[in-house]
Chains A and B, each alone.
Chain A
Amino acid sequence: MFEPVFLAQQALNGLSFGALLFLLASGLTLVFGLMRIINLAHGAFYMLGGYVGVVIAGLTGNLLLAVVTGAIVVAGTAFIVEFVLLRFVRGQELPEVLVTVGVSFVIADLCLAIFGGDPRTLPASASIPGSLVIGDLVYPWYRIFVIAVAIAIGIALAVVQNRTRIGAIVRAGVDDREIISAMGVNIRWVFTGMFIVGAALAAIGGTIGSGVISIRPGIQDEVLLYALVVVIIGGLGSVSGAAVGSVLIGLIDAFAKAWIPDFAYFTIFAPMALVLVLRPTGLFGRTA
């Protein structure tokens, strides 16, 4: 139970799950930071991306192609959702959230209709074979690849956010929408773009994650819960908060599942409750 190999294995499990959570939570938190929407269809975007990715991976055996196709399909869906539905209710907090709930219903049910109810996992042909072996520690390369992808995307997000003009526009939009609109930026299209990027991140998470957790009906609610807990802990709107929260929740979840499986949900909830009581805006959240 406390052997070094076991601990290392669980730590890696936690990190790879945390990596997946980061892909999910970063999109959720970015969209919230800019648009003040909690997108409850985020889990459904993950699901749709995962299904499309698994199907494409099964057809071509090419993981990159699967990820890209999944992301494009979901980005297209997100565009329709944002452009056709969300623009009608812009600025009204509750209706915005509820529309995404309805969208989640529809996407999840159509996924069930199209892809069936059986759990789907990434086919071996598209996965990365083999395992890392250090002494007694055997760990699949694929999960290490998941960690690497999350780190790469995290760095890319940070660079875009802090070093580019687009990032500057987004940061300005977070701080003061009216001023940035007055300066000639069409903030509505910035919103649309961010919503699409957030959804695409969820889709990437879905396809890559299908090699770790199978995609099945109901997965949309499950991953949404984890993503919400992560962003509550990290602070809504903060990407660095999402990163810290993901690693924290990933590790806690992995060790809790190994040691006290009966309380698996409880253990991710406890730190969230603690954060809410001590720092309601999250670890990295700004006070409103």
Chain B
Amino acid sequence: MSENILVVTEHLQGRVLDITYVMLAGARRLAEQTGGKVIAVLLGYKAQFLTQDFGADKVHSYDRPSLEHFSPDAYLRVLEAEINAEQPRAVLLGHTTIGMDAASGLSARLHLPLVSQAQRFDGSNFVSQICGGKIMAEGPLPEPTALVTMVPGGYRPEDGQGRNPPILEKQAPGLEGMRVRLSHFIEPEAGDVDIAKESVLVSVGRGLQNQNDLELVERLAKDLRGTVSASRPLVDKGWLPTSRLVGKSGKAVKPKMYLALGISGAPEHVEAVTGSNLIVAVNTDPNAPIFNVAKYGVVMDMYELIQALSNALEQEAHAA
């Protein structure tokens, strides 16, 4: 039994995902409470360079070709061995397409308690964000080893960086007889703009009533020298390509300004926009969660605002 906190590194195609840093920051808070160390667990192949800026005390690296890409079966087996060997106080995984595949399985396999959707730690309590971000649930971190899947929003990624921890090579258990095998990746359609690099995003959600109305939005985006992005419902409808999707299964964005029109702000969306310098949200529902992350909010029909804003920008252009 140790007081250490394990953080399962999430990386994809040679890049560390932000949630890893968020977890490292959270793990540090917990470790301060328990007096243990923060250990980043890295499963990969020739991926150790990824951990240089980790805010961890050390890295346990499982390095072999079959771990190059995420596979639920393989992660379960390696993490089972790691947890059994380490007996940590807590294991943090992302509440993500990677971490969620492993965490619950580990809980069942190792008979360890699991906390989902944790946003932050308050002393030795977890604080989870449930019900679409409308409710927070708090409780003591369960014993002996708590498995935790984390959502962003509680910690800044910067706070999980900057220690250049030593790397400890670990021997992975046998990985034969896997029943889940990756066959290949399917890249998103290329050729479109990269919304992650845009400095102004005009983002639309359910509030957009018709595909034809995208014209209005595009015109506004042009006036603002920005690009149009969207939340999941519009991409699901096929009104915009996946490359324009902001959210958990789309892109995380960091523009100078994120103008959210008719977006209610589900957690999957919100977590991908928190890196924005300025968020302005327009929604007819005054209780829309998007207002909890926005700097400025307007309760108004998005069409009305688009019209008024276009006029104001035009006047501004004339005045200049």
Are A and B physically bound partners?
Answer: no
Residue ranges of A at the interface with B (Cβ–Cβ < 8 Å): none
Residue ranges of B at the interface with A (Cβ–Cβ < 8 Å): none
